[in-house]
Structure 1
Amino acid sequence: MGGAGRRFAWAVLALLAVLALFTPGRAAAQPEIGDENIRAALAAEGPPVAGGEWMLALHFTPRSPEWHGYWSNPGDAGLGMELAWDLPRGWSAGEPQYPVPRRLVIGGLMNHVYEGSYAVLVPIRVPRGADLSEIGPIGVTADYLACTDKLCVPQRAELTLDPPEVGGGDPRFVRWRAAIAPMLDSRANFAIEDRRLRIGIPLPADMTLSSPHLFIEERELGKGRRPAYAREQTFYRDGDLLVAEVPLDQLNLPAEIVREPAPSRLDGILAFSRDVGVRFTAVPGAVPSAGKPVAVQETPALWLLVLGALAGGLLLNVMPCVFPILSLKALSLARAGESQAEARREGIAYTAGALLACVALGGVLLALRSAGEAVGWAFQLQEPAVVIALLALASAITANLAGLFALPSIALTRRGEPAGAFATGLLAAFVATPCTGPFMAAALGAALVLPPLEALVLFAALGLGLALPFLAIGLVPALRRLLPRPGPWMETFRRVMAVPMGLTALALLWLAFRLGGPQLGWVAAAMAAILILFLALAGRRQGAGRQAGLAAALMLAIGAIAFLPRLASEEVEAAESLLDPEPFSEEALARARAGGQPVFVWFTADWCVSCKVNESVAIEREATREAFAAAGVVTLRGDWTRRDPAITQFLSDHGAAGVPLYLWYDPGEEGRQLPQVLGPEALVSLARAVPDRQARAGPRTLPPGAAGAGWD
């Protein structure tokens, strides 16, 4: 679309918005043209220098997650951004530099969008001999579009910046530059044949492409042809050349437009995966017509994701994060052999409890994310109030298993009581699901981007997998016959099982220290001790005295849940580590990768038992420290114990709904996601093999800025 066409489109949109203000009964509901939906700000990397390039940034921040902005070519719908600069004489603005856009299909139409905050960089050329002391404020008027999946609103931001007041510049430029797709230093070729655009892009043959996609900046390709954005693209390898084939649509346009020739140049972005890619410029030339197909990794089918969630839930039964509550399961298993009817009821009740907990947690997670909250799987254990509630519950269960008191309503292993099995399923799912295991990562990562109904199906499959062993024992008599026969030993076994549940309470108490600091931790310890004392007194008394003791315990627990979180400290000291890692941030990661050294990043949380096991087995070891020191490995740690929106977003961008997540970056290479269960020598072997991998890769010339921008 030419400049005149764009200006006409903006004029029509502005006219419609103005007319809508005077429409009876609708005026109050129509927004005015402004920047309230996606707010814009102008920032500078540093002060301008005469004869140099001054980099500015337009930073866009949506008011809520449903709003998105557009790339320069918005796709099948939308409008690209238009900038009108007010610059001193002799100064000029270069072409805007965009991050890698994302694909959003609405109603069969492909949109090239940006979700969340993003920045567009614009280089300003400052003439030689410019008197910077006499420069007044510069200005820019940005016209752009803000859309949801149901509504689009034109936006206009009039921004100014006073060069003498810039000072040292905006520190966010490190992150913004890292997000910009770097420019390839080699030209690509393109050819248009019938209804197909073929582009040959020079890329090393050993480069990994997890999900490639071509974003073409030109909307019109001559003779009434344009890219068919929503149709599938295909990719082939011919040595060090990547060949992309893009289907074209033939538009029914007037003859004078159809006669327009093909462009003499194409610009665009090749995305390797989500948010990672390179810019390129292509000119007409020969493009090979054959090659080895490149497999494009897309979101698996729903049924595969359901199987993954089911398998992940099943494996949670043997993951370390579930071990502390195996006491409750063991008693339920033993009780299940007493009668077929009781076993069936308990198996179904336990399954219902696990399903309800997983679906409820998943529903709350999706609701919070849709409301703009940066939360992920296991978000509940990042809240001090939840931890205090679980501590009170674990203390009460410990007292119950130890025989200090018993009530049908909370005796979770009481014979013939489906309510006890249901409560056990609820507790098992609530405590077991914070840590992700094998098969779970892909399913839960997909659940965060799928429609709500499909996402809830995945959460339900996770709960079913967790409960499947109990359900099978409850419904299959042959399995129950393999269990020990009930007898007096069960009472002794029940009391012994108070030990692991007590250890669970101690772990929650330690988590209270880590979440809220010593003040919260010590008061929580006093609460747990007094609660157990009240329950023990209630177990020794009868009648009114018993009811009074239980009422006092209940009031103490409710009061602790309501008021103890207020004691949490704002700052909690980071845990010590042999590797002496730097706290994770995207800026720190960009700096580390730009240094040309291997980088290891791990994401952990104090409430994640799997994380702590991996750290003791593979990370916090003297052998790992020595291997990392010899290879010059830079380490970063993302502590997700407390809420951290930046870490949550990074996890989501890498398809992870929770922790642990381990990433390894060889120098100049794209990150590799390591398994969620690490062996003792896993990291040592990676560090020792760095020289061999570099030798095999050979010398490589990276595009300008690629080392800090995720170039593979």
Structure 2
Amino acid sequence: MIVAVLWLGVLTLVGPATATAQAAPHIRATLLAEGPALPGQTVTMAVLMEPEAGWHGYWSNPGDAGLPLSLDWTLPPGAKAGELQFPVPQTLIVQGLMNHVYEQAYAVLVPVTLPADARVGSTLPVSARAQWLACTAQICVPERASLMGTITVGSGPKDTRFAAWRAALPARLDQPGRFEATPTGLALAIPFPASAQVRDPHFFIAAQGLVDYAAPQAFRRKGDWLIVELARAKGAMAEHPQSVSGVLSLGAGAGGLAITASPGMVPKGGTPLSGGTQTAFSWRTLALAMLGALAGGLILNVMPCVFPILSLKAMALARGNSRHARAEGVAYSAGVILACLALGAALLALRAGGAQVGWAFQLQNPGVVALLVLLATAITANFAGLFELPGLSVSRSGASAGTVGGAFGTGLLAAFVATPCTGPFMAAAMGVALVLPPVAGLAVFAALGLGLALPFLLIGFVPPLRRLLPRPGAWMDRFRRAMAVPMGLTVVALLWLAWRQGGWALMGAALALALVLLAVLVVVERQRRQGCRVVAWLAPVTLALVAAALLGAPRLAARPAAESAGLPGTVPFSQAALDRARASGKPVFLYFTADWCLSCKVNESVAIDREATAKAFAKAGVQVIVGDWTRADPAITSFLTIQGAAGVPLYLWYAPGAATPAKLPQVLTPQTLPDLAARAQQGS
């Protein structure tokens, strides 16, 4: 505190001279508005802080030293600025002092309410005198700037960067915590589902001078409570505050929770956490997660959401008498496992870097969806006999044209398309994989690939299983052509997904690319049959189409299609919407879905979007909230992480007055929701 006061004095004394002399601040500040707003409405402003390499800024409570960003606003008459909203900070110890800092670019958000009499179409100037402290591990420099911005009165598009900045804010916990004084400081009990995992937690307390920031924090788990013990600040008297608030960081890339706690009894005992990682982790935990992943991979072989993969396997398994059965089995398995490991490694790396992503993140990218349209089109054309695809081609006599390379490529494609629909038994395993140490997490992803590849691997190595397959013959050609029908339906489904993600522009672009590819493949097959070499021009054309899909499609997906209709009164997910619904005292049904998740759509058709469910919900007054994860949404990803879920579907039931939600099974029956609503109505 003494250091902070001294720096504040220096900043005040140097005054405007510092701003004049400092031509290049070490932290560049920019004032931005999210977009237009109507008179009387609130728009979010952002102060984007961009530190130079090696420099850092400070959280609202900077810790043992430092100064946070402060703003002195100049607003139009009738406008009002709210409190500064800081993202989740990081810890930095310098010479024994604990600092709560930001070492990368960060945005401080501020809600600004427009005057009720503002004229639509006008532009309102806003400005703020900002001051902050920029530091390295050796020196600190007080900095200030006059920030200028404008707000357009009206309606219009929003700045897409604000979604990520808003997701970096700590999520408000939907129930209060409890705290009590201890002989050495404070014990804080935070409501936290037992199924949710946490790695490297740290509690950033908002009050200054109450606890020793640099002292180790002891964490333990007790049921649905996460307990943290904080040491009293050196020299401070034992105090009994009326409330304790702060931010619980869940670890790098996992976000945080905004906590408010009132005096109350803190549970005793529980499972300690060491270094932020649960000591309850053991080889047994890893073994169970791998078994769950293996079972999920096996289920993928029969789930309708991976019918394109089943088509590929049906053609491959029909070649069971191939002399290369074992080699193809190993190659196919290697392709599947490698793809699962690559997807898992990319997911873990992105989360470690702070990105809010979850399992099946690749299907949230419109470019990947467009690429899958091209792949599905090529496979459909092959099954229809328009051209021969190496590794899948079967002659009319039944002789195999399969190769080891073709089997490996088939495995890669199978896993890439199949892994998003991990089935109802994969949620726990994927959730554990994301919080295990990286090597252990990759072992879980490898087990998923092994489960997906296991049937084909067994057929390759067990001759009696191969003998159970039908003998090769002319029927295989007819079977291949029949498989063109479901593959064609897959193309249609992917085009629908493109429309859902980016509207008619994205769907039209994907369809155009698919038609161009189809024409190219037909020409290639004709020239191949005439003995012409086509590789020289086919390769650049294919690369051009792939580049157009991956790079061009996202540019057309700025505005997704309108939401599909659900239950009456359904509202989109936000933490504020959930808070309002819970405060109403009515039951709340919160579910997360995505258009690329077939199991989600099956549940919606069978159990959610039904007249019986709608009537039962209406009688019980159930509030329905849906989170659409079709496209990347950092706020939804953060909420899923807090709930211990790696992806969708996720179904939560908030009973009136319940401290925590009930997590429903991932397979819903027609009576699951009506029964819950009936019990809630009887309880009221």
Provide TM-score, normalisation by structure 2. Answer: 0.69
Could you tell me which of 567, 579, 583 is aligned with 1:579? 567
Q: Provide closer, same or farther for how the CA distance between residues 392 and 313 of structure 1 changes in structure 2, counting only shifts above 3 A.
A: same
User: 2-side partners of 1:535 and 1:642: how far apart?
Assistant: 31
Deviation, 1:614, is 1.6
Q: Provide closer, same or farther for how the CA distance between residues 520 and 235 of structure 1 changes in structure 2, counting only shifts above 3 A.
A: closer
Q: How does 1:40-189 map to 2 (within 5 A)?
A: 61=48, 63=50, 79=66, 81=68, 142-143=131-132, 156=143, 189=180
Residue 303 in structure 1 maps to residue 255 in structure 2: no
Aligned to 2:314: 330
Q: Deviations over 1:488-519 (max 9, x none)?
A: 54444333333322322232233344344345
Q: Provide closer, same or farther for how the CA distance between residues 573 and 191 of structure 1 changes in structure 2, counting only shifts above 3 A.
A: closer
Deviation, 1:545, is 6.8
Aligned to 1:417: 403
Q: Say which SS state the counterpart of residue 408 (structure 1) adopts.
A: coil
Could you tell me which of 4, 7, 15 is aligned with 1:6? 4
User: 2-side partners of 1:318 and 1:110: how far apart?
Assistant: 54
Aligned to 1:682: 672
User: 1-side partners of 2:56 and 2:299: how far apart?
Assistant: 38
Deviation, 1:394, is 2.1
Deviation, 1:426, is 1.1
Deviation, 1:425, is 0.6
Q: Provide closer, same or farther for how the CA distance between residues 151 and 423 of structure 1 changes in structure 2, counting only shifts above 3 A.
A: farther
Aligned to 2:456: 470
Q: Say which SS state the counterpart of residue 190 (structure 1) adopts.
A: strand
Could you tell me which of 495, 498, 513 is aligned with 2:481? 495
Aligned to 1:625: 614
Deviation, 1:323, is 2.5
Q: Provide closer, same or farther for how the CA distance between residues 97 and 546 of structure 1 changes in structure 2, counting only shifts above 3 A.
A: closer
Q: How does 1:2-41 map to 2 (within 5 A)?
A: 2=1, 4-8=2-6, 32-36=25-29
Residue 232 in structure 1 maps to residue 218 in structure 2: yes
Residue 354 in structure 1 maps to residue 343 in structure 2: no
Deviation, 1:429, is 0.9
Could you tell me which of 493, 497, 513 is aligned with 1:507? 493
Could you tell me which of 279, 286, 304 is aligned with 2:260? 279
Q: Provide closer, same or farther for how the CA distance between residues 375 and 490 of structure 1 changes in structure 2, counting only shifts above 3 A.
A: same
Aligned to 1:659: 648
User: 2-side partners of 1:507 and 1:42: how far apart?
Assistant: 38
Deviation, 1:430, is 1.3
Preserved contact between residue 583 and residue 636 of structure 1 (Cα < 8 Å): yes
User: 2-side partners of 1:207 and 1:401: how far apart?
Assistant: 48
Preserved contact between residue 60 and residue 86 of structure 2 (Cα < 8 Å): no
Could you tell me which of 381, 397, 400 is aligned with 2:363? 381
Q: Say which SS state the counterpart of residue 318 (structure 1) adopts.
A: coil
State the one-letter code of the partner of 1:268: V
Q: Provide closer, same or farther for how the CA distance between residues 8 and 460 of structure 1 changes in structure 2, counting only shifts above 3 A.
A: farther
Please list every run of 5 or more consecutive structure 1 residues that lacks an aligned counterpart in the other structure.
Answer: 15-29, 47-54, 88-94, 124-136, 251-256, 696-712
State the one-letter code of the partner of 2:413: L
Preserved contact between residue 336 and residue 346 of structure 1 (Cα < 8 Å): no
User: 1-side partners of 2:4 and 2:88: how far apart?
Assistant: 21
Q: How does 1:207-606 map to 2 (within 5 A)?
A: 226=212, 229-234=215-220, 246=229, 248=231, 261-263=237-239, 265=241, 268-269=244-245, 275-276=256-257, 278-280=259-261, 293=270, 303=286, 305-339=289-323, 342-365=324-347, 375-408=357-390, 411=393, 414-438=400-424, 440-445=426-431, 456-477=442-463, 479-480=465-466, 482-484=468-470, 486=472, 489-518=475-504, 521=507, 524-525=510-511, 528=514, 532=518, 535=521, 543-544=529-530, 561=546, 565=552, 568=556, 570-580=558-568, 581-606=570-595
- My pick for the range that moved more, 682-691 or 527-536, is 527-536
Please list every run of 5 or more consecutive structure 2 residues that lacks an aligned counterpart in the other structure.
Answer: 13-22, 75-81, 113-125
Q: Provide closer, same or farther for how the CA distance between residues 430 and 599 of structure 1 changes in structure 2, counting only shifts above 3 A.
A: same
User: 1-side partners of 2:172 and 2:512: how far apart?
Assistant: 53
Computed over aligned residues only, the root mean square deviation of the Cα atoms, in angstroms, reads 5.9
Preserved contact between residue 358 and residue 463 of structure 1 (Cα < 8 Å): yes
Deviation, 1:232, is 2.7
User: 1-side partners of 2:681 and 2:272: how far apart?
Assistant: 29
User: 2-side partners of 1:438 and 1:427: how far apart?
Assistant: 22
Give identity over the alignment, percent.
Answer: 44
- My pick for the range that moved more, 525-534 or 57-66, is 57-66
User: 2-side partners of 1:439 and 1:12: how far apart?
Assistant: 60
State the one-letter code of the partner of 2:310: L
Provide TM-score, normalisation by structure 1. Answer: 0.67
The number of equivalent residue pairs is 620
Q: How does 1:642-653 map to 2 (within 5 A)?
A: 642-653=631-642
Q: Provide closer, same or farther for how the CA distance between residues 488 and 266 of structure 1 changes in structure 2, counting only shifts above 3 A.
A: same
Preserved contact between residue 435 and residue 660 of structure 1 (Cα < 8 Å): no
Preserved contact between residue 228 and residue 248 of structure 1 (Cα < 8 Å): no
Deviation, 1:643, is 4.3
Q: Provide closer, same or farther for how the CA distance between residues 153 and 588 of structure 1 changes in structure 2, counting only shifts above 3 A.
A: farther
Preserved contact between residue 101 and residue 112 of structure 1 (Cα < 8 Å): no
User: 1-side partners of 2:645 and 2:226: how far apart?
Assistant: 31
User: 1-side partners of 2:417 and 2:367: how far apart?
Assistant: 15
User: 2-side partners of 1:683 and 1:6: how far apart?
Assistant: 55
